Amino acid sequence: MSKTGALDLASGLGGKITKEEVKSAVDEYEKYHGYYGGKEEARKSNYTDMVNKYYDLATSFYEYGWGESFHFAHRWNGESLRESIKRHEHFLALQLELKPGMKVLDVGCGIGGPLREIARFSSTSVTGLNNNDYQITRGKELNRLAGLSGTCDFVKADFMKMPFSDNTFDAVYAIEATCHAPDPVGCYKEIYRVLKPGQFFAVYEWCITDHYDPNNATHKRIKDEIELGNGLPDIRSTRQCLQAVKDAGFEVIWDKDLAEDSPLPWYLPLDPSRFSLSSFRLTTVGRLITRNMVKALEYIGLAPQGSQRVSSFLEKAAEGLVEGGKKEIFTPMYFFVVRKPLSE
């Protein structure tokens, strides 16, 4: 069960970072990013530290607002956010042609919401790969509560250097996670190595689209805001991602930006012009309440110093995501299915 109350949010703020060190961690995290004058090279060379700090600082906010699955989704009219998120995960499982008993890897699994849903949906065993101690601890507890400890597990490791033998898994997927990789070819090569020949890898990638203009100051600001608020070294284009997976050795089965034909915009939950009781905490009013609640919790000492700044850069990310979505320069669901050849 996800953490849903104010005290749950306060108790998780900072993750594995001690309460006294949260403010300095926020300082260090912000300095990595272009929004504060940071350089892409520094983000890439220090990606492990940057991404770990990000998820230590942001995970409780994510779980408080989104539940156990930290991702967007293609969404039909009349479909709730939660329903669309589950269908997004089921769609991926179907594209992988999962069958009962298969051994599956979730690359960059968060606290394991998707892996639990996919394991139940497909009767498979799913291993979640994650390099963040706090998320793994939280994910194992949620596995236990769901009764899935026997079929779902977590491994702490960097997805650029996976601790698995060659040809280990029957299927591999990533949901809005490999965007954190400093080198997409290197990341996809590791996935290629641990996947069995003839089997599938499917991924939802965060990408800039062909509408993005690097010389447009507004576009650049939006990109910087998204990178700051989401722990990203750089947002790659759809073309770069597709070429990277080909360079890693995969055969492309199909690819598509699923945001293009979503009946409801993927960014709708964050849109300030929209109100919804079913996802109230993500609305403008809900985020205002959360922001003031965090301010109060920090003031009385229940939340660590620096918590308001984490809330602030997540707000900035939300603004960038909505603006990027409306201008069609960014997508969180560039989807492709690829296969490792039977013979190399």
Domains of the chain, earliest start first: 17-70+268-326 (no CATH), 81-223+235-263+330-340 (3.40.50.150)
What is the model's pLDDT at position 103?
98
N-to-C CA span, the chain: 44
What is the model's pLDDT at position 294?
67
Can you tell me the mean pLDDT for 77-101? Answer: 96
Among the listed residues 262, 254, 128, the one whose alpha carbon sits nearest the alpha carbon of residue 202: 254
Kindly report the pTM of this predicted structure: 0.89
The 3-state DSSP composition of the chain as helix, strand, coil percent (nearest 5) reads 50, 15, 35
CA angle 101–104–106, rounded 5-degree value:
150
Tokens of 217: 């100051």
What is the model's pLDDT at position 275?
47
What is the model's pLDDT at position 38?
74
* pLDDT surpassing 70 at residue 48: yes
What is the model's pLDDT at position 27?
76
Going across the sheet that includes 195-208, the strands are: 152-156, 125-130, 103-107, 169-175, 195-208, 330-339, 251-257
Three-class DSSP category at 254: strand
* pLDDT surpassing 70 at residue 5: no
For the chain, give the number of residues.
Answer: 344
* pLDDT surpassing 60 at residue 189: yes
Q: Are strands 169-175 and 195-208 parallel, antiparallel or unpaired?
A: parallel
Average pLDDT of the chain is: 87
Can you tell me the mean pLDDT for 213-226? Answer: 95
**Largest Cα–Cα separation, the chain:** 62
What is the model's pLDDT at position 285?
62
Per-residue model confidence as pLDDT tens digits over 253-291: 999 999 999 999 999 988 877 645 445 455 666 666 666
